[in-house]
């Protein structure tokens, strides 16, 4: 009874809309954390995490005097699973509906918070049943007979599952007018190896600073190329940009030969790749993605032109982009 009354107090006067994170409390977690309502340009991941942070803190602080020892133990375990899920930060995608809806388990087998709690409790039969029959339903619209036995000893109530369950935005294209509205500065660090080292160039490294604006990016880079003989190297500074995963850059280069003679020249570079998302998933086990460091790799064809020599080089790059704001992670 105490928990039911306290939960009722949590459910403040919220005007639910199809764009709310939670059907019961709307965007309350985000509003408390940021002091405003979310808008279309906010980071969807941050919105969901803000919701979980609020719900976790609220449920952890509830008095549970009406629970027996088994229920208290299970409740603590399930709330720890929620915290683990929130920290992990990998959430389902809504690829079916335009508006926000719950997604129990998506096509990539990514579980929602409620499904994840069940998974951590080895309730695979319940998960399969609900996924097959109620994958895009709110908890209260599911077959409660499937959940009722588990709920009895879980230490959680149906109302608490409703509070936990978020909705997920449709992965539909944004209006063209909003594509360029998010400006996200970033820096990246990386190395490359030459695919045609007959010209003597073996490897190099590069530091880049730039901005993303929707599918467009602008960048400024400093890099260094090393030769096989270890006495020659090229320093370069370039400016460039591109659309999505294709880009071009151009700038200045200085070749230092074996006698420390410096020859000035130019560098141009065409690149393609930048496959951030699939590689980020693969790198997730390292913890780097959770920290906001996004691995990306690509191919480039660069050309150095000096007064007496021209080098054409084909490279494979591995870089790590570090967003200076959360917008780089926006959906």
- Please check whether residues 145 and 213 belong to one and the same domain: no
d(CA 313, CA 213): 29
Report residue 89: phi and psi, to 5°: 70, 30
- Please check whether residues 81 and 34 belong to one and the same domain: yes
- Please check whether residues 102 and 207 belong to one and the same domain: no
- Please check whether residues 141 and 47 belong to one and the same domain: yes
- Please check whether residues 126 and 6 belong to one and the same domain: yes
Q: Which of 132, 164, 196 is the last residue of a domain?
A: 164
d(CA 35, CA 54): 13
Place of tokens 């190099």: 204
What pLDDT was estimated at residue 329?
A: 37
- Please check whether residues 40 and 89 belong to one and the same domain: yes
- Please check whether residues 24 and 141 belong to one and the same domain: yes
Q: Which of 164, 185, 214 is the last residue of a domain?
A: 164
Domain count, the chain: 2
**98, 159, 181 from 173: Cα distances, Å:** 10, 34, 14
CB of 225 closer than 8 Å to CB of 205: no
Q: What is the CATH number of the domain that holds 308?
A: 2.40.160
Q: Look at residue 304 and tell me if it is in a domain.
A: yes
Q: Look at residue 88 and tell me if it is in a domain.
A: yes
Q: Look at residue 204 and tell me if it is in a domain.
A: yes
Q: Which of 164, 186, 210 is the last residue of a domain?
A: 164
Q: Per residue of the chain (331 residues), give pLDDT as tens.
A: 445 434 443 444 344 444 688 988 989 988 999 899 888 778 888 899 999 999 999 999 887 778 999 999 999 999 999 999 999 888 998 888 888 899 999 888 899 999 999 999 999 999 999 999 999 999 989 887 888 889 999 999 999 999 999 999 886 554 444 445 557 788 888 899 998 877 788 999 999 998 877 678 899 999 999 998 888 999 999 999 988 778 999 999 999 987 788 999 999 999 987 544 444 444 444 444 445 566 677 889 999 999 889 999 898 888 877 766 543 333 3
- Please check whether residues 51 and 138 belong to one and the same domain: yes
CB of 154 closer than 8 Å to CB of 160: no
**Secondary structure in 3-state letters for the chain:** CHHHHHHHHHCCCCCCCCCCCECCCECHHHHHHHCCCCCCCCCHHHHHHHHHHHHHHHHHCCCCCCCCHHHHHHHHHHHHHHHHHHHHCCCCCECCCCCCECCCECCCCCECHHHHHHHHCCCHHHHHHHHHHHCCCCHHHCCHHHHHHHHHHHCCCHHHHHHHCCCECECCCCCHHHHCCCEEEEEEEEEEEECCHHHCEEEEEEEEEEEEECCEEEEEEEEEEEECCCCCEEEEEEEEEEECCEEEEEEEEEEECCCCCEEEEEEEEEEEECCHHHHHHHCHHHCCCCCCCEEEEEEEEEEEEECCCEEEEEEEEEEEEEECCHHHHCC
- Please check whether residues 299 and 202 belong to one and the same domain: yes
Q: Look at residue 44 and tell me if it is in a domain.
A: yes
* Domain range enclosing 297: 177-329
Q: Is 7 left (phi over 0), alpha (psi -120 to 50) or beta?
A: alpha
- Please check whether residues 183 and 153 belong to one and the same domain: no
Q: Look at residue 171 and tell me if it is in a domain.
A: no
- Please check whether residues 145 and 194 belong to one and the same domain: no
């Amino acid at each position: 009874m105490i928990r039911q009354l306290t939960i009722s107090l949590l459910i403040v006067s919220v005007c639910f809309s199809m764009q709310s994170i939670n059907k019961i409390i709307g965007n309350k977690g985000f509003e408390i954390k940021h002091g405003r309502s979310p808008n279309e340009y906010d980071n969807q991941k941050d919105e969901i995490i803000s919701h979980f942070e609020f719900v976790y803190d609220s449920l952890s602080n509830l008095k549970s005097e009406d629970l027996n020892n088994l229920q208290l133990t299970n409740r603590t375990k399930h709330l720890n699973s929620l915290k683990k899920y929130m920290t992990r930060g990998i959430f389902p995608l809504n690829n079916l509906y335009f508006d926000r809806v719950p997604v129990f388990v998506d096509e990539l087998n990514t579980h929602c918070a409620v499904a994840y709690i069940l998974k951590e409790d080895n309730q695979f039969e319940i998960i399969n049943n609900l996924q097959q029959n109620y994958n895009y339903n709110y908890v209260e619209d599911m077959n409660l007979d499937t959940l009722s036995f588990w709920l009895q000893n879980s230490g959680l109530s149906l109302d608490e599952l409703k509070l936990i369950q978020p909705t997920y935005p449709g992965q539909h294209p944004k209006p063209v007018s909003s594509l360029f509205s998010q400006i996200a500065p970033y820096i990246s660090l990386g190395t490359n190896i030459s695919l045609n080292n007959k010209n003597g160039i073996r490897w190099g490294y590069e530091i880049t600073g730039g901005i993303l604006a929707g599918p467009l990016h602008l960048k400024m880079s400093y890099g260094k190329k090393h030769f096989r003989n270890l006495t020659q190297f090229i320093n370069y500074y370039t400016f460039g940009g591109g659309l999505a995963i294709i880009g071009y850059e151009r700038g200045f280069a200085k070749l230092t030969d074996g006698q420390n003679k410096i020859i000035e020249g130019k560098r141009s570079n065409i690149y393609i790749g930048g496959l951030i998302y699939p590689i980020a998933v693969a790198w997730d086990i390292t913890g780097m993605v959770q920290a906001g460091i996004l691995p990306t790799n690509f191919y480039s064809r660069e050309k150095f032109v000096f007064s007496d020599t021209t080098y054409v080089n084909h490279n494979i790059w591995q870089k790590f982009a570090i967003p200076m704001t959360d917008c780089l992670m926006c959906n």
